[in-house]
Amino acid sequence: MKKLLLICLALCTMFAATAQDFPYSKYINFEKADFEANNFKYSKKYNTWTLNKTNGWNVAFSIVAILADGSEDVRPAHNDYSISVQMGENDMVAYVAVEFYDDDVYHKILTFMMDNGEHMLETSSGKLIKHQAAYNGFALELNMVQHIISRTSSRTVDSRTLKNVDESYNEYTFIIETGITAQSKYFDKKAAKKAKRQEKGRKMDLEDMM
């Protein structure tokens, strides 16, 4: 028990020393009071704290546009975001995941990873571009997914021509993994189902076969 406490203390010290060193790392040291003070919502099932921001006026305007002529803008607002903090062992943070659409924020994070990260790796598959790096004991991952949306809207004012609309956008996700094992009722249930399938000799998923 004493050894476990010493390990936890060492991890806490490491997190505290690096919490302000890189983007969104401050959430690693957040406690319940901090999350609540910053309007995060807790999910008991997933053992996560989440904060979502959407442009309410943009959503309302889109609904009105749909009713009017079907020319709604389906792109998220550039300042929309979602922050999810997954808790793990001993009430410590397992990972922080930030989903956003701001190109400038993406470039700032990517620049930080390129300038300060170790073992930088870039991979791509289809519309996904992924950057991975290590920093001060943390694993950083930055993803960009390109959503290509092109459609034809309702007729223009003169009622003779159709208007082509480009609603393409990039979706970004920044993930900080601390090395702590994630824990939740959802993960436990998922692991139990997987073990049960293996006991019955059922075929595993492709990822599990690696």
Mean pLDDT of 67-86: 76
Mean pLDDT of 77-98: 94
Of the pLDDT bands very low, low, confident and very high (cuts 50, 70, 90), residue 146 is: very high
Contact 53, 204 (CB under 8 A): no
* Cβ burial 183-200 (10 Å sphere, 16+ → b, else e): bbeebeeeeeeeeeeeee
pTM of the model as a whole: 0.74
Contact 49, 37 (CB under 8 A): no
* pLDDT on residue 157: 53
Q: What are phi and psi of 17, to 5 degrees?
A: -70, -25
197 or 23, which is more confident? 23
Mean pLDDT of the chain: 81
Whether the predicted pLDDT of 148 surpasses 80: yes
* pLDDT on residue 16: 46
Of the pLDDT bands very low, low, confident and very high (cuts 50, 70, 90), residue 184 is: confident
95 or 76, which is more confident? 95
- Look at residues 88, 78, 91, 85 and name the one whose alpha carbon lies nearest to residue 42: 85
* pLDDT on residue 58: 53
How do residues 191-210 score in pLDDT, each as one tens digit? 667 777 777 777 777 777 76
Mean pLDDT of 32-56: 94
Centre a 10 Å sphere on the Cβ of residue 39 and count the other Cβ atoms it contains.
9
Whether the predicted pLDDT of 43 surpasses 50: yes
Whether the predicted pLDDT of 66 surpasses 50: no
* pLDDT on residue 186: 75
Mean pLDDT of 3-29: 63
Whether the predicted pLDDT of 56 surpasses 80: no
* pLDDT on residue 3: 46
Centre a 10 Å sphere on the Cβ of residue 84 and count the other Cβ atoms it contains.
20
Contact 76, 101 (CB under 8 A): yes
Whether the predicted pLDDT of 4 surpasses 60: no
Residue 101 CA to residue 172 CA, distance in Å, equals: 6
174: which 2 tokens? Answer: 């920044």
How do residues 114-128 score in pLDDT, each as one tens digit? 999 999 999 999 999
Residues contacting 167, CB < 8 A, separation 6+: 73, 74, 75, 149, 150, 151
